[in-house]
Each structure stands twice: as C-alpha cells, then as structure tokens.
Amino acid sequence: MLDRRGDIAECVSPFSPKKGESEPMIPNHVAIILDGNGRWAKSKGMPRNYGHTIGAKNVETICKAAYDMGIQYLTLYAFSTENWNRPEGEVAALMRLLDSYLKNCLRTAKKNNMRVRVIGDISRLDEKFRNHIKELEAASAVYNGLNLQIAINYGSRDEMLRAMKKMLRAYDAGDFLPEELDDVKFASYLDTAGIPDPDLLIRTSGELRLSNYLLWQLAYSEFYFTDTPWPDFHERELKQAVEAYSARDRRYGGIREKEDVNV
C-alpha cells in the first residue's frame, strides 16, 4: 500500500495521462453517502446487517483508492441522526459495528499514516464508544496522509443548531462583535472547522437526495449519483466519479474566463 512516509515504493497513479492528454482535475475533498448496504444484502438473500458488515470492510478499500488518486480528504456518512428510527436490533448492530471499526482503525490509521476524525453529536453514544473515538482522534492526529472524517450521529441541521449555540455562548462571553460575524466565522463553529469544503459529493445506490448531509459545506460542491450500492463501490467506481468531476466546469457563480457576458 502506498505510504506517504516513504516506507513503500510509490505506485503509478491510475490517472496518469496518456501522451498528449492533460492531467485530470483531482478533487481535494470527497464526501460520500454510503447507501445501499441493506438492499444489497437482501438482494443476495442475506440479512441487512451482513450488508453493513461488508460495507464497513469496503471503507479501507476506498480510503486506499482515494489516497492513491491524490485525494486529501474523505468524509463518509456512516450513521445519521435519523438512523435512530431504524429497528432497534439494526441500530444496536450498527453501533457495535462502528465501535469495532474505530477500535481496529487505530491500527489501520498507523499503518496508512491516516488521520481520523469523527463529526456529529457523539454525546448520544455510550461512554465506551466515545472514549474509543477520543483515543483514535488523539492517536491519529500526528499522521499527515489521508484525512478521513466519519460522520456518526450526524445531521446537518443538528450540526448548525449546535454551532449556533456555541456561537451564541462565545458572543455572550465577548469573544466577537456582531459585525465580525461572516460565513468564515460561522463555519469555525461547525464540526468540520479547519476542514476544507467538499469538492465532490458521491451518493451510492441510486438515491437522489442529500439526506441532511453537510448542507452548509456542500454549497458549491459537484454532485455525482450512482446506482452502484456501497458494498460494490470499489476503485473503478471511484475513478469514474472523479473522471466525471474532472470534466465539470466549476465557476462558483462566476463565468468562464473567455465567456461573453452579453450572450
């Protein structure tokens, strides 16, 4: 596996251009909604939790592929604030799976020089789970390879409400004046403070909605939807999404440099 510490020889990028071609545009930050685990399992005659297990195993595959492509940040939607409404047995199984993944991620993060952070309201998680999160975040903070963010008990509306509460407390403490409040200041109170906004949002398994995910941060992101369920979303599918992104014309509300504004 490619390791930015130089332990292992550098591999050839899957996007190495052919003669006469220009370098593709690689997104700095990719956010993914991991959808379709349960439906994928049912299509194979297996229980929904089997799909979640296979989906969790696919995370390392995509982390490696993203790193090899030159992606710097990867944010994965693992469990939403609305997912608590699922059957109690499925929720309990998901919590155990996520906790187990984060414990194993201590070793994976060290092996792959990967920094891991959890976004979302972790106060609803049990104390043991919260301690595993804090341990992983502290231990991996020294690594400078791929930045992996995992959204657990995350909902964008909830995030913004929590951010506003923190901001109001800071205002009451005299930390800033009303005229100093702008989008940069507000973003500093979000769970993603210090993390660049996603360039590309991918949703798997055919759904065409954002599901309360990174609503503030996705303001100028490119969207890519695929019918492929998350357990089948591998390096080839990620490459296709990045190639589609590379062909987009990102203007952020402006115009092309040579575009006639009178047309």
- Positions marked active-site: 35, 83
Q: What is the CA radius of gyration of the chain?
A: 20
Strand ranges, E, within 123-206 = 147-154, 200-203
> How far are the Cα atoms of 19, 24, 41, 215 from residue 219, in angstroms, in the given order?
36, 23, 33, 7
Decide: 76 and 149 in contact? Cβ < 8 Å: yes
Tokens of 164: 């506003």
- Measured in degrees and rounded to the nearest 5, phi and psi for residue 214 equal 50, 45
CA distance 136 to 35: 25
Q: What separation, in Å, do the N-terminal and C-terminal C-alpha atoms of the chain show?
A: 50
Tokens of 150: 């995992």
**DSSP 8-state assignment for residue 230:** G
Q: Which residues contact residue 198 at a Cβ distance below 8 angstroms, ignoring those fewer than 6 apart?
A: 27, 29, 30, 31, 73, 75, 214, 217, 218, 221
Beta strands across the sheet bearing 222-225: 115-119, 147-154, 73-80, 29-33, 200-203, 222-225
